[in-house]
Amino acid sequence: MGWRVRTGATVVGVLALLGGYLVADAYDVVPGMLTVSPPPEQPAPFPSAPGARPGPSPSAVLADLPADAPAPPAAEVGRLVTAVASDERLGPRVAALVVDATSGDELGAANADVGLVPASTQKLLTAVAAITELGGDTTLDTRVVLDGDDRLVLVGGGDMMLAAGAGDPDAVLGRAGLGDLAAQVAARVTVTGRTQVQLALDDSLFSGPTIAPTVPPREAELGYVAPVASLAVNIARLTDAEYAPRSSDPAMAAAGVFADALAEHGLQVVGDVRRTTVPQDVRTLGTVRSAPLDQVVEYAMQHSDNTITEVLGRLVALDAGLPGSVEGSTKAVVDSVSRLGVDMRGAVLVDCSGLGRGSLMTVRQLVEVVRLTVDPARPALREVAVGMPVAGLSGTLANRYGGENPGRGLVRAKTGSLPEISGLAGSVVTADDRLLVFAFLADQIPEGGAYGARVIFDGLAGQLSQLSAT
């Protein structure tokens, strides 16, 4: 397809997380599995991205784990899982599963085959599907083509992370810049003596509702997701805040930014920018490319970015020959994960990010997806494992696992949080250097208890890191 550039498969070494992280600051997370500080009055729909205070380097230590490292006793894991699953503070619907990553043996389970709301842990599926189907080295092109003699058309290829001015080759957000694109185009047009052009916009890549109908309107208004478009500046944010209000028409807003950039390079846009669809055989005047998709996936995982995850899902749909819509994306993601061997029977996905209401998954399905990412036979998927937040160090886990929680630096997981819903799915290294994979979900948490649920799940993962066969 025209929007996709494949440069080869990325192979990442065998993943393992080793401990040894020491920090001076104690973050605002209450230590211990059974100690819960007062919950916030209005829990955020998902954990806020890090940045309020500086933390240690997010880089993790990756190495080979010893093949003969012993797994912890199933009885001990089961005891911990049962204790958490029966904790009344989590409400009546709790599920948890812990599996040995190497053997696949079940070590502890509670309601492992009951469908619960996954919240943002669901992003793991979209990440795995994107890397599997599109490739980690794929980039997304934003182009300008010449339509006729004097009409330029800005063509979106799925990059909603454009910079307004110059791109930053070291960044993911803002890797490609509309200012750079304008410079390319103006250089080729003004040399002919032209100083005025018409500008049109082709944002026809995606179709259907720009926001999943299952997302509460208030959450879109608060900036938790933007309308999905084939191009946008700064993920359609109207300010630089993480959850800033978003443009209601990101692609057209980007076209306006591009028109201004052309003017700065001596090329005036006359008339209004109108939408069009260009044929395939047009002349390209300029192109800027996004960061590789493995980096885009990591950004989405670290920041739990709903908009970028929805874009990835729609790109997976287009690659599968399906419409780049909400329905096409959810089907394509489920189909992709199913082909990898995950039994997705009974699962319901109403979007690709987990922000919408109505998705259902079991912790067994989540664990199977996590296990794919640490499987040595699937090295490309290690990009997903490496992209997960690290406990106490990066992403949505940066400000968690403080105090005495021993899981700091040993747990790598995707968070999930909505009002009355909490989830955590990922991997942890035990005291014997054995890798375990896990998923914990609760979707009827008593009012005001979402923060406490995070602490309980973090505590369980931390306790797993201390288990030993001896």
Residue 82, Cβ density class (10 Å: 0-12 exposed, 13-18 middle, ≥19 buried): middle
Identify which of 458, 362, 364 has the alpha carbon closest to the alpha carbon of residue 411.
458
Residues sharing a CB contact under 8 Å with residue 310, sequence separation 6 or more, in sequence order: 212, 225, 228, 326, 329, 351, 352, 353
d(CA 129, CA 337): 6
- What secondary structure, in 3-state letters, does 54-87 show? CCCCCCCCECCCCCCCCCCCHHHHHHHHHHHHCC
Catalytic residue among 120, 230, 359, 427: 120
Structure tokens, 327: 């329905």
Residue that is written with structure tokens 């812990």 in the block: 98
Distances (CA, A) of 230 to 197, 201, 419: 23, 10, 30
Give Dmax (Cα) for the chain. 80
d(CA 112, CA 346): 13
Quickly count: other Cβ atoms within 10 Å of residue 165's Cβ: 17
d(CA 316, CA 297): 13
d(CA 319, CA 158): 12
Angle at 245 between CA 58 and CA 314, to 5 degrees: 70
Residues sharing a CB contact under 8 Å with residue 281, sequence separation 6 or more, in sequence order: none
d(CA 183, CA 57): 36
Angle at 392 between CA 387 and CA 395, to 5 degrees: 35
Catalytic residue among 230, 247, 304, 465: 304
Q: Is 123 a catalytic residue?
A: yes
Name the residues annotated as catalytic.
120, 123, 304
